[in-house]
Structure 1
């Protein structure tokens, strides 16, 4: 089913179209969410919230502003970041035992398969190292631009410019 038709049917509250959307994108979105929250149960919970938001706010999607996956990725990324900033999440994180961290490391080996369900990693690998590290921080690890600036030890204006340029380069690769 074509993406625009699929989204139009979701805007009309077609459950079959929604199921198709979930089947096509849930693994990729789960990978992105997991990369931010670092907890499988929380990631699955956030994923469910994301799809509820997509269902309820489908009418806010505009094809002129970008692709469906990009829009959904932003919804997922923002929901995951909101979750990590919540008081409950931070309180639970303080109570984690060392066992949980071992599990996270083990589960993280499969993360690339989840994130790459749409094949994006082969394009990201073609970008310059500066772009790869910035995209990893901003989009896969959930850093804010300010946090990325501090992590990379570069001015925030440089982060913003590089981010815009790197995403432009990635978009160009995907369209060609």
Structure 2
């Protein structure tokens, strides 16, 4: 089933559509979540929560504002960031053993390898240093635009403008 065939079924909340939706997007969304949340069990919970939000809020999707995948990707990314900021999640991190830190480092290395495998990292490296820094903070580390502004000590509006310009530069590299 293609996305064009799936979207009308999802909008009608056809029960079959949920399975197709999950089969079509779960792997790529899980990769995004895993980049932010290193604990597999927590990441799986966030994936489930994301699909529930997507299903419940499908009526708010507007084709004119962007692609469907971008819309579900934003929901998923925001759900993962919300999880990272939650008090319970932060408290659980305080009790990690040293074995978990080795696991986190291994997972991080694997994710960088996966990013390199799909080639995104090479395209990002071609950008201006400021763009590399902003994309790293916003997309690879999961910072909000405000957090990135604080980290870089620049105004929020500047981060938003530079992010938009950097994404356009990245799009141009990907078109080649």
Same fold (TM over 0.5): yes
Q: Which residue of 2 aligns with 1:58?
A: 58
> How much has 1:172 moved relative to structure 2?
4.8
Q: Name the CA shift for 1:168/1:79 in 2 (closer, same or farther; >3 Å).
A: same
Q: Which residue of 2 aligns with 1:105?
A: 105
Is the CA contact (8 Å cut-off) linking 1:61 and 1:71 kept in structure 2? yes
* Distance in 2 (alpha carbons) for counterparts of 1:44 and 1:129: 34
Is the CA contact (8 Å cut-off) linking 1:47 and 1:76 kept in structure 2? yes
Q: Name the CA shift for 1:83/1:158 in 2 (closer, same or farther; >3 Å).
A: same
Matched, 1:169 2:155: no
Q: Which one has more relative contact order, counting CA pairs under 8 Å at least 6 apart?
A: 1
- Counterpart of 1:38 in 2: which secondary structure? coil
Q: Name the CA shift for 1:122/1:43 in 2 (closer, same or farther; >3 Å).
A: same
Q: Once superposed, what is the RMSD of the aligned Cα atoms?
A: 2.5
Q: Which residue of 1 aligns with 2:76?
A: 76
Of stretches 110-119 and 18-27 in structure 1, the one that deviates more from structure 2 is 110-119
Q: Name the CA shift for 1:160/1:66 in 2 (closer, same or farther; >3 Å).
A: same
* Distance in 2 (alpha carbons) for counterparts of 1:7 and 1:96: 41
> How much has 1:93 moved relative to structure 2?
1.0
- Counterpart of 2:127 in 1: which secondary structure? coil
In structure 2, runs of 5+ residues without a counterpart are: none
Q: Which runs of 4+ in 1 moved over 4 A?
A: 112-123, 171-176
Of stretches 112-121 and 35-44 in structure 1, the one that deviates more from structure 2 is 112-121
In structure 1, runs of 5+ residues without a counterpart are: none
> How much has 1:169 moved relative to structure 2?
3.1
TM-score by length of 1: 0.84
Q: Name the CA shift for 1:57/1:131 in 2 (closer, same or farther; >3 Å).
A: same
Q: How many residues align?
A: 176
Of stretches 160-169 and 46-55 in structure 1, the one that deviates more from structure 2 is 160-169
Q: Name the CA shift for 1:73/1:67 in 2 (closer, same or farther; >3 Å).
A: same
Q: How does 1:17-28 map to 2 (within 5 A)?
A: 17-28=17-28
- Counterpart of 1:109 in 2: which secondary structure? helix
* Distance in 1 (alpha carbons) for counterparts of 2:58 and 2:123: 28
> How much has 1:174 moved relative to structure 2?
5.4
